Chains A and B, each alone.
Chain A
């Protein structure tokens, strides 16, 4: 029985391996494949968690740099409690934003300070306004950017660090910027990070690499805020299943002992 079981599992594993190999190489038509360097993230692996300091610093970068162009529509101020801010701190952060609410009883829209239950206030009233302010290009909402790109965390980090000089013969379109990692290498977003763009509240030096790592950690959290809870639940579930399946196997052996 054991032999049969192991051969079945082995066969399934081999088949699964073959399938996943069949699927692993991303579809890629004409155009070069851009190699994205890997970074060692705090949230990598089955036990990885978001580094709290990086989350707070990354939020600072987002708020002070990216938020002037990119919305974060799916994240609410109350979600920042996850970073270790207490209720009052979150209230204070939310109150910095101005929310347009209404209509009130007079039928007028009015402005009020943000509340923890509000979602992050977007920089532009609508997509057209966002395009108009960015030379026709649309700065995408960043709430899901890390799961909306292949190898998202490494990609966004590389993108932020990828503003290098174009090759000599490169034909750049008007208003575009060369980026080593953007598909086609021409991106409408001007280099957003230079290093020393903010002064970190915790005193961490603000090299461009540090800033990129921090803001990407923040964006990874924005994409998958459930990740830590998910992995924790996963470890418990797997431990339970391993023990339970082991018991089932022992029971099975016992019941089948008299079958020849």
Chain B
């Protein structure tokens, strides 16, 4: 359906530059499964979180000084002397945590409903790229206030690259721009921290292009069979996303205004001191599961490989889980393992905040092993041995189709309505 704009200016522009038609297609009439649950809100929330980070980040950058002698006090000056500086900074600081909360929920949603399966493999992989970029961005952002955890976190994490055989040490020196984390490091981290969010924006656009090719997956995990299964994005999902945003902002505001430092580490209010190592160097909470995996392995290089491996398995996940059924709702055994995985990751998070010694290390090894077993053994095995429940015929006929044809494997590009 060609959009019919009543405003003559819009029509004039659209005739020459069809952005309004494009938006109308992709954000208005865009046919969306009508049975999406609230778990489908987290994608749009992640996008909004990104915008919040960019807006507050640019404002912070107007007042921030990337120099080892001034960074810490410039941040504290933002908090005290810039009008509403405390608000901008606390939104940015807690925004990073909430961004990760939202994205982690978004990812587990995808894991449960098999959103990574054909034909959405590239969509999924772009998501994993976004997560990696977010991690790099957040890691470098955390260095900027130049507190104790900033400095020592940067030292520990950059040092990981020294595990690379032969060229490890030169690489670390190159990353640092010197022989320790120092002013050149801070400067380049600021530059990259400014740049990467815009790279994320680019990948997010690709993510959405890939999404709109086949449309959203849905809680039943079966393909859209026609117009009766879909509703236009606007107003149905615009209002639903707006409502979800309201709920999100309530949680977010509660932290920003009433517990702004709850998720931070008190040591980061102590200026960086290369001569005094904190008793425990802990990264931000959203890195803890990966940190636990890193430290579970007795060998430095091994630890680094397993840590990156834990993300790499997500990249190849579409080829590890070969079951033609997407949604966990119809996979009785998969469902159980999904919840075990979730518990395992929460457990790893907890372990990541503990010192790497004694029982904690042993437990972290089991939890790490289980993480990989889930993806490398359990999922491939389930693809063969599990008998899925019969699937419904279509979204609008949630009665079980006799015999339950598997709808997962064949998917046609979405029909434009």
Using a CB–CB cutoff of 8 Å, the interface residues on chain A facing chain B are 4-5, 8-9, 12, 15-16, 18-19, 21-23, 25-30, 46, 73-74, 140, 143-144, 147-150, 152, 183, 223, 225-226, 230-231, 233-235, 237-238, 241-242, 244-245, 248-249, 251-252, 255-256, 259
The listed residue (B80, B231, B263, B353) touching A27 by CB distance below 8 A is B353
Q: Which residues of A contact B76 (CB under 8 A)?
A: 74, 143-144
Q: Which residues of A contact B285 (CB under 8 A)?
A: 19, 23
Secondary structure type dominating chain B contacts: helix
Q: Which residues of A contact B254 (CB under 8 A)?
A: 234, 238
B267 in the interface (beta carbon within 8 A): yes
The listed residue (B236, B257, B350) touching A238 by CB distance below 8 A is B257
Q: Which residues of B contact A152 (CB under 8 A)?
A: 266
Chain A residue at minimal CB-CB distance from B273? A138
Other A-B pairs beyond A5-B38, A26-B353, A245-B246, 7, CB < 8 Å:
A74-B77, A226-B79, A234-B254, A248-B242, A249-B243, A256-B240, A259-B34
B63 in the interface (beta carbon within 8 A): no
Tell whether A28 pairs with B34 under 8 Å between CB atoms, given A147-B266, A230-B87. Answer: no
Q: Which of B76, B77, B243 has the most CB of A within 10 A?
A: B243
Q: Once the chains bind, are A252 and B239 in contact (CB under 8 Å)? A: yes
B308 in the interface (beta carbon within 8 A): no
Per-residue interface assignment for chain B, residues 203 to 235, with 1 indicating a CB less than 8 Å from any chain A CB and 0 otherwise:
000000000000000000000000000010001
What's the Cα separation between A248 and B245 when bound, in Å? 10
* B260 → chain A closest CB, angstroms: 7
Q: Which residues of B contact A249 (CB under 8 A)?
A: 243, 246
B402 in the interface (beta carbon within 8 A): no
Chain B residue at minimal CB-CB distance from A149? B266
Chain B residue at minimal CB-CB distance from A5? B38
Q: Once the chains bind, are A8 and B355 in contact (CB under 8 Å)? A: no
Q: Once the chains bind, are A231 and B37 in contact (CB under 8 Å)? A: no
B261 in the interface (beta carbon within 8 A): yes
What's the Cα separation between A25 and B354 when bound, in Å? 8
Q: Once the chains bind, are A27 and B86 in contact (CB under 8 Å)? A: no
What's the Cα separation between A223 and B87 when bound, in Å? 15
What's the Cα separation between A46 and B73 when bound, in Å? 28
For the complex of A and B, 6 pairs with smallest distance between CB atoms = A234-B257, A245-B246, A22-B350, A148-B269, A8-B38, A29-B355
Q: Which residues of A contact B357 (CB under 8 A)?
A: 29-30
Q: Once the chains bind, are A256 and B236 in contact (CB under 8 Å)? A: yes
What's the Cα separation between A5 and B240 when bound, in Å? 11
B373 in the interface (beta carbon within 8 A): no
Chain B residue at minimal CB-CB distance from A248? B243
Q: Once the chains bind, are A245 and B86 in contact (CB under 8 Å)? A: no
Tell whether A241 pairs with B269 under 8 Å between CB atoms, given A27-B353, A234-B258, A252-B240. Answer: no
Tell whether A29 pairs with B105 under 8 Å between CB atoms, given A230-B260, A241-B246, A256-B236. Answer: no
What's the Cα separation between A101 and B8 when bound, in Å? 65
The listed residue (A140, A234, A252, A259) touching B243 by CB distance below 8 A is A252
Tell whether A255 pairs with B349 under 8 Å between CB atoms, given A27-B282, A46-B258. Answer: no
Q: Which residues of B contact A230 (CB under 8 A)?
A: 86-87, 90, 257, 260
What's the Cα separation between A144 and B266 when bound, in Å? 10
Chain B residue at minimal CB-CB distance from A45? B258
Tell whether A12 pairs with B105 under 8 Å between CB atoms, given A23-B353, A234-B257, A255-B236. Answer: yes
